[in-house]
């Protein structure tokens, strides 16, 4: 072996040892100038905090990223959160968090309890999004929600959307229950063993958790009475056999409530770069929103009307300006808008009770009364 060959072999061996990888003869190192830098990686980035890992907002955030990201000037980074009130805290104080998807009742609870004084001025909403249905699964001996008085009801882990909504709902109904905070899988085992009376779960229908549950297991969903107090805080909804054919029969649909979710933004008016990123995000989301209605996306997007208002809260300036510029596009309601759902709800309730059907004008008038009632204008 010549001295020149030995030198070349030795050089190649040293190079492989240092790199710790596979060496390819003739492979050139990537020019340092092509490596991404901080400015490029952070260009147009917004961080969007969601609910916990099993929450529907995780998928929604991923689908939002799918229509907003352009690979160069815009990017959405979803961050799995630790609970709704914690998400509001993070949006206000945690460095880097720009947006959050939270239930509307969490915002109202934070305001009612004055957890964040002046919250109305420090957070703004971009759009109301989809609704998630309240599921209350009970043993067969529990016939109505009032039967849960003094019984143990699991509400998921502390800080979850379900825990907040369930506690608020039972307070509105003036029903005292014992609260348990097991995760949903553990709670279902305890429910089947008779250790608890019911479990609550706020989830967008159809929720995979309930699709595997059979009525023959001795479990059923309880209806939620739409009292004036409940109607002022939540919107009506219904769970049918089409949602859970193994759990709900066609003759026993379940009346329930739905929890609206909201996309909200931090107050970044003093941070021009991040504020501009949010404005660009809003423009891309609203402009490309129809893409979320395409097959392959969550069916809940068909309920969303981006022009719908959230009473008592201020819309982000960039969202308000986009809607003003594009009013004809924004006001076109999707097929599953709230008024359509309300109309269907009225029809089904009157049919079930044997009452006469209502005309479209009567339903429209009733819907207006309902919205005024919901917004506190009828009190």
What's the pLDDT score for residue 377?
39
Report residue 56's pLDDT band, with 50, 70 and 90 as the boundaries.
confident
**Mean pLDDT over each residue of the chain, to the nearest integer:** 83
> Any idea which residue has 């825990």 for tokens?
163
Q: How far apart are CA 106 and CA 16, in angstroms?
A: 56
Specify the range with the lowest mean pLDDT, choosing from 20-29, 61-70, 162-171. 20-29
pTM metric for this prediction? 0.74
| 131-259 maps to CATH 3.40.50.720 | no
Confidence of residue 39 (pLDDT cuts 50, 70, 90): confident
Q: For residue 157, with 0-12 CB atoms within 10 Å meaning exposed, 13-18 middle and 19 or more buried, which class applies?
A: middle
Maximum mean pLDDT: which of 23-37, 161-175, 294-308: 161-175
Q: Is the pLDDT of residue 168 over 50?
A: yes
Residue 223 to residue 198: CA distance in whole angstroms: 13
Say what the pLDDT of residue 4 is.
Answer: 41
What's the confidence (pLDDT) of residue 35? Answer: 59
- Span 314-339, average pLDDT: 75
Statement: residue 353 has pLDDT above 60: no
Whether the domain at 41-130+260-330 and the domain at 131-259 fall into the same CATH topology: yes
Out of 3.40.190.10, 3.40.50.2300, 3.40.50.300, 3.40.30.10, the CATH code matching 41-130+260-330 is 3.40.190.10
Domain range list for the chain: 41-130+260-330, 131-259, 337-379
Between 22 and 131, the higher pLDDT residue: 131
Q: At what angle do helices 317-325 and 272-287 cross, to 10 degrees?
A: 40
Give the C-alpha separation, 264 to 100, whole Å. Answer: 5
Enclosing H/E stretch for 130: strand 123-139
**Percent of the chain clearing pLDDT 90 (strictly above):** 54
Residue-wise pLDDT tens digits, 60-94: 999 999 999 988 889 999 999 988 899 999 999 99
Q: How confident is the model at residue 142 (pLDDT cuts 50, 70, 90)?
A: very high
Any idea which residue has 């958790």 for tokens? 209
* Integer Rg of the chain from CA: 26
Distances (CA, A) of 335 to 84, 122, 300: 29, 33, 11
pLDDT at 78: 94
> Average pLDDT of 37-51?
85
Q: Is the dihedral of CA 127, 132, 133, 135 positive or negative?
A: negative
């Amino acid at each position: 072996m010549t001295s020149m060959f030995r030198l070349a072999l030795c050089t190649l061996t040293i190079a492989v040892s240092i790199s710790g990888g596979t060496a390819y003869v003739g492979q050139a190192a990537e020019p340092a100038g092509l490596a991404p830098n901080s400015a490029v990686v952070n260009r147009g980035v917004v961080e969007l905090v969601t609910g916990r890992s099993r929450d529907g907002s995780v998928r929604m955030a991923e689908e939002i990223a799918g229509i907003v990201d352009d690979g160069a000037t815009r990017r959405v980074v979803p961050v799995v959160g630790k609970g709704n009130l914690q998400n509001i805290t993070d949006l206000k104080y945690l460095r880097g968090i720009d947006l959050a998807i939270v239930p509307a009742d969490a915002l109202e609870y934070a305001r009612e309890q004055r957890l964040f004084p002046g919250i109305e001025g420090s957070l703004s909403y971009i759009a109301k999004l989809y609704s998630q249905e309240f599921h209350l699964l009970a043993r067969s001996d529990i016939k109505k929600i009032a039967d849960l008085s003094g019984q143990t009801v699991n509400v998921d882990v502390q800080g979850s959307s379900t825990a907040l909504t369930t506690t608020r709902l039972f307070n509105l109904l003036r029903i005292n229950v014992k609260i348990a905070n097991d995760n949903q899988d553990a709670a279902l085992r305890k429910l089947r063993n008779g250790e608890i009376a019911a479990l609550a779960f706020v989830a967008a229908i159809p929720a995979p958790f309930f699709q595997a549950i059979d009525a023959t297991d001795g479990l059923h969903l309880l209806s939620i009475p739409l009292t004036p107090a409940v109607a002022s805080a939540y919107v009506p909804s219904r769970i049918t056999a089409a949602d859970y054919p193994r759990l709900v029969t066609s003759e026993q649909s379940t009346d329930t409530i739905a929890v609206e979710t909201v996309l909200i933004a931090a107050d970044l008016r003093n941070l021009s770069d991040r504020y501009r990123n949010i404005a660009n995000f809003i423009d891309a989301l609203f402009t490309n929103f129809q893409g979320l209605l395409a097959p392959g996306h969550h069916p809940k997007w068909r309920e969303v009307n981006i022009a719908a208002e959230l009473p008592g809260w201020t819309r982000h300036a960039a969202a308000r300006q986009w809607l003003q510029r594009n009013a004809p596009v924004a006001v076109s309601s999707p097929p599953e808008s709230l008024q359509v759902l309300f109309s269907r709800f009225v029809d089904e309730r009157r049919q079930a009770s044997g009452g006469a059907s209502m005309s479209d004008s009567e339903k429209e008038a009733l819907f207006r009364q309902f919205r005024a009632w919901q917004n506190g204008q009828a009190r």
